[in-house]
Amino acid sequence: MMKQDTLSVRTFTILVIFFMIGTSILITPAGLALVAKQDAWLAAIVGVGLNLLTVLIYVVIGKRYGDKTIIEMCQLAFGKWVGNVIGLCFIAFFYLLASLMIGDLGFFLTTQTLPETPIEIIQIIFVIIVIIGVRAGMIVYSRASQIFFPILFCMLCLLILPIFPQVEIIDFEPMLEYGFKPIVKAGFTFSGFQEIIVLSMLYPYVTKSATKGHGFVWGTVIGGMVLIIITAGCIGVMGAAVTGNQLFPAYVLAKNINIGHFLERIEGIMMFIWILSIVMKIVMTFDASLIGICQIFKLKDPKPYTIPLGFGLIALALLCYQNTISINNFLTKNWTPFASIFTIVLPLLILGILMFRGSVKRDSQQTDAPENEQA
């Protein structure tokens, strides 16, 4: 695929916000409350801080090699063969992530709103939407995000503002009752559910600008603030025990909102926010896997592969969600360590290798210069 500047910094910031909210807005408050109890909102702050650190790593890499995706940097750092193997691992990670989100969509809708609808039908509908989005191209779905963003903002305001009158300060007490360890542990788990490394596949397509990295950072901060507020709202309205025992606490929170019997049961707003953001996240993740495939196998057009690989997401999602208890245990206990290999370990390793090679090359050039002058 030929690279060209297709995304403005503002558009990329909006995509980052959608990506941050994604699956997290609905499910992460439960995991945070389960570990950090009433300090879940502090754990969310820690998690967003860890996300910012990883984003800064990606920004540093982007400044040095701004025209290359993480797949191409693997090839640059490790060589053709090893780099391609590691690149394929990244692609598999992106593809698995997309399939798990398809599974999340189907599981949520069949358990909460459409219990009599076969999960396969729901997943097929959303996969078709994802395929259409990816085939339309990055510039089309990025413009769609610009159109939907004001709607998303208004919906978030309608959801967040009614929360404040119902918040009970006592639900946040005693603060730091169990110390810092559960807060850090929950924050680390939280950070693993953002998978921001996917956006490094889109970063080279952002218009070259001095504020290019700022868009990445600000998108992470704004999306993180939304997640912190929703987590705090769940704790303040429902309490840590109830929040931790819910599969989708933010959805239950929206059901409990009641302002003078005038504004109540606005769970439809939460559902709209979540479906819109997770579909955008799936589109970006699936597109990232296709970009990687094209770069490794030197393909010019990914469109012929969107339909078979798109429907392959359904098969993998059904395979993963055969036992919901097992997949939930995997996601809560093992996903973050697994994802950290791709979001932290490998990017740091790539950056270290490329910086080392760059310093060795500079040293050799400096030593060669005097010899050339003497000659």
User: What is the set of domains in the chain, with CATH numbers?
Assistant: 9-374 (1.20.1740.10)
Whole-number pLDDT of residue 1: 47
pLDDT in tens, 103-152: 989 988 998 888 899 999 999 999 999 999 999 999 999 999 999 999 99
Q: Which two tokens stand for residue 14?
A: 């909006």
Upper half-sphere CA count for residue 181 (Cβ side, 13 Å)? 1
Taking only the tens place, the pLDDT of each residue in 321-369 is 776 667 777 777 888 899 999 999 999 999 899 888 776 666 566 565 5
Residue type, 329: N
Mean pLDDT of 169-197: 89
pLDDT for res 139? 92
Q: How far is the C-alpha of 70 from the C-alpha of 292, rounded, in Å?
A: 9
pLDDT score recorded for residue 365: 60
- Cis bond before residue 174 (omega within 30° of 0): yes
What is the dihedral sign for C-alpha 171, 176, 181, 186?
positive
pLDDT band at 159 (very low <50, low <70, confident <90, very high): confident
Considering only CA atoms, which of 22, 25, 34 is closest in space to residue 246? 34
- For the cut 70, the answer to whether the pLDDT of residue 314 exceeds it is yes
Q: For residue range 70-86, what is the model confidence (pLDDT) as tens digits?
A: 999 999 989 889 999 99
45 has pLDDT over 80 = yes
Q: Indicate if the pLDDT at residue 2 is higher than 50.
A: no
The whole-angstrom separation of Cα 27 and Cα 109 is: 14
How far apart CA 236 and CA 29 sit, in angstroms, is: 12
Dihedral class, residue 239 (left if φ above 0, else alpha if ψ from -120 to 50, else beta): left
**Higher-confidence position of 6 and 197:** 197
- Provide the pLDDT for residue 360: 60
> pLDDT tens digits, residue range 267-281?
888 888 889 999 999
More confident residue, 261 or 255: 255
pLDDT of residue 195: 86
CA distances from 282 to 198, 199, 238 (A): 10, 12, 30
End-to-end Cα distance, the chain: 45
Please state, rounded to an integer, the average pLDDT across all residues of the chain.
87
Question: Which of 263, 261, 236, 259 shows the shortest CA–CA distance to 249?
Answer: 236
- Whether 112 contacts 275, CB under 8 Å: no
In a 3-state reduction of DSSP, which class is residue 188? helix
Residue type (1 letter), 41: W
User: Kind and range of the H or E element at 259?
Assistant: strand 258-259
**Tokens 């810092």 identify what position?**
180
Q: Assess contact for 38 and 235: CB atoms under 8 A.
A: yes
- Looking at residue 125, its pLDDT comes to 95
